[in-house]
A and B are shown apart, each in its own frame.
Chain A
Amino acid sequence: MQDLRLLAQAKRGQRGLENKSGLVGWDEVTQGTVLPSFEGDATNIANLKSEERAYSNFNSYTATVASWRVKKPVFNRDICIDCQNCWVWCPDSSILSRDKQMLGIDYDHCKGCEVCVEVCPTNPKSLLMFGEYTELEEALAQWPEKKKKEK
């Protein structure tokens, strides 16, 4: 199963990119378009897990592109061999993995490109694309059987 605690962090994906409220004037924008990544002192930030970090509102971590997706990848824990292929290939760092164990998909930043499904080596695949509004249980119930090698 996906790690729901990691998937439901307070600051992740709280802003939509299409939301234009809160646009400030020329007197309040940052000098040089320089955008701080974190709030406050970030000296020890490398030692903190993402859910413990104080990401700033300029950080893409706090914005979501979930609405751009038409289809979503669904992760099946029971088949995954934790090879980390999807983690390596994902162009949007949307594969959540800890201590080389695959935990699930960051649906706030996944754009549904399907690269993770493409590179998944298991049989059947541990990641498959489903319609955006398909429930997790429903998707898992439809998972295909192992394909037999053609002789």
Chain B
Amino acid sequence: MTEIRWHSRAGQGAVTGAKSLGDVVATTGKEVQAFALYGSAKRGAALRAYNRIDDEQILNHAKFMNPDFVLVIDPALAFTDNITEHEAEHTKYIITTHLSKEELLAGIPALAGKEERVYIVDCVQISLDTIGRSIPNAPMLGAFVKISGMFELDYFLDNMKRVLAKFPQKIIDGNMNAITRAYNEVK
């Protein structure tokens, strides 16, 4: 079982990102779960989305998890939200930021001693460059594909095209570029 927690703000696409990831993962024959907790939250409110991935049907419906991956797609939440909550000893963090890794780590005491498990990528800038808007979910998927090693990039891109099929070609191309760039730039 792989468990993933997304830290995001409503409107940044974490729910769509989690569901898209679920969609693509399901095509590999695995069982997936993608959910988020929101309701009365307005655009901009902090929210968390979750994925579970397993070979068998996923029965655990609890929000509680010890995530294998924590994906932070809002730069400020890395500092203000409790991103290390219920972490495991192997939890990997992928954080969107325009800062260097050293600058980022200096501002987040909770990540001290976990430098090897922290990866950075500027999803906001990548999405502005490729999609034209600050929708950092797609680049985060590219970074996740790289760090998790769960898929080959081309396989993921092909399946993501199917998930996005209802959108105009321009948006599909933008997302493909965003995923590819983040895959190459995450470090």
Contacts and interface: CB of A to CB of B under 8 A. Distances in A.
Contact of B9 (A16, A17, A68): A68
A69 B43 CA distance: 8
**Interface size range of chain B in the complex:** 10 to 19
Interface in A1-20: 16-18
Nearest to A112: B44
Contacts of A17: 45
B44 A69 contact: yes
Contact of B80 (A18, A69, A70, A112): A18
Query: Helix, strand, loop or mixed for chain A's interface?
Result: loop
Nearest to B43: A68
A104 B46 CA distance: 26
A111 B46 contact: no
A73 B116 CA distance: 40
20 contacts: A16-B80, A17-B45, A18-B45, A18-B46, A18-B81, A65-B44, A65-B45, A67-B44, A67-B46, A67-B76, A67-B80, A68-B43, A68-B44, A69-B44, A70-B9, A70-B11, A70-B44, A70-B134, A111-B43, A111-B44
